[in-house]
Amino acid sequence: MALVLAETAAGGAAFLFLTPLWREVRTGFFALTGVVVLALAAAAGGAAASGSDPRVAGGRPAEVLAFALAGTTLVWLALLIARARAAGRALGLASVAVAVAMLFAFARTSDESVALSFFQLLAGAAFTGAVLDGLLLGHWYLTDRRLPRGPINRMAWVLVGSVVVEFVAVLIGSGSGGATARRTLNPLLTLSGSSTLIAIGMVACTGLVAVMIRLALKGPRPSAVQSATGFFYIAVITAFAAEIAAKVRFLP
């Protein structure tokens, strides 16, 4: 759970500050998304602390960096509320670097290679982050009726791309994992193998939802954005189910 929460917080922060949203939406959207990222990062740190094992390398740094991401997010939120937009944006960009360092620290807790684990976590961050920011952006259109379709169209395409990357990450990581992940559930499948099949199925479902989002956004009426937002809700369920299943192989 710590891994999935950390991925989502990292992806949410990255898409918030590394896309042109800063010039497209009002500060309120950054405050909304920032509060969610703050909660996710703090929860990731708490989950990591509750499941920490001193024998696992990288566990303590990952926990510290998760709380550091939460703290950095809290500060840039305060700066935005105080109307210090330039400083808030600079610290927000710095929080993305903290998020990447956090994912690298979590990658070191896996029994498989650090490079492979890091890639899987980055793919998961893009996957869940696109779903999170897309959902929040869809709701923001209810607040800012004059916002053009560009931001949500772009986020829909980002989701499509992240589905492809996540599918590759799941396939590359299939069959790997620690002793717990290799435990046999039945005569045919290990725990890792079963979770891989579930992850592949849920990633495929998310890909189908992403296609539906793109089709919904082709409609010219404002209700098209509402329909797309409804599909993003479904994507939240399928994407998080996929990530929880995919991260079983990280178990020691």
**Is the domain of 84 the same as that of 186?**
no
- Name residue 190's beta-bridge partners: 184
CA–CA distance from 12 to each of 129, 176, 212 (Å)? 4, 27, 22
**Is the domain of 141 the same as that of 248?**
yes
Q: How far apart are alpha carbons 115 and 108 in whole angstroms? A: 9
**Is the domain of 199 the same as that of 227?**
yes
- Left if phi > 0, otherwise alpha if psi is -120 to 50, otherwise beta: which for 186? beta
Contacts for 116 with CB less than 8 Å, ≥ 6 apart: 172, 173, 176
**Is the domain of 90 the same as that of 43?**
yes
**Is the domain of 100 the same as that of 194?**
no
Contacts for 67 with CB less than 8 Å, ≥ 6 apart: 41, 42, 45
pLDDT by residue (tens digit) across 101-151?
A: 999 999 988 877 889 989 999 999 999 999 999 999 999 988 888 889 899
pLDDT at 125: 96
What is the percentage of the chain residues whose pLDDT exceeds 90?
A: 61
- Residue 221's domain comprises 113-252
**Is the domain of 232 the same as that of 147?**
yes
Q: Identify the domain boundary among 82, 109, 136.
A: 109
Contacts for 188 with CB less than 8 Å, ≥ 6 apart: none
**Is the domain of 155 the same as that of 46?**
no
Q: How far apart are alpha carbons 77 and 81 in whole angstroms? A: 6
**Is the domain of 101 the same as that of 208?**
no
Q: What is the pLDDT confidence band of residue 234, given thresholds at 50, 70 and 90?
A: very high
**Is the domain of 119 the same as that of 78?**
no
Q: How far apart are alpha carbons 115 and 122 in whole angstroms? A: 11
The answer to whether the CB of 216 falls within 8 A of the CB of 143 is no
If you average pLDDT over every residue of the chain, what do you get? Answer: 87
pLDDT reading at 193 higher than 70:
no
**Is the domain of 122 the same as that of 103?**
no
Global model pTM greater than 0.85: yes
Q: Identify the domain boundary among 109, 129, 155.
A: 109
Q: What is the CA radius of gyration of the chain?
A: 18
pLDDT at 173: 75
**Is the domain of 143 the same as that of 252?**
yes
pLDDT by residue (tens digit) across 198-233?
A: 889 999 999 999 999 999 998 888 788 889 999 999
Token duo for residue 77:
């939120």
Q: Identify the domain boundary among 109, 136, 159.
A: 109
User: Looking at the 3D structure of the chain, how many domains does it have?
Assistant: 2
CA–CA distance from 182 to each of 28, 56, 91, 178, 249 (Å)? 46, 18, 42, 6, 8
**Is the domain of 103 the same as that of 121?**
no
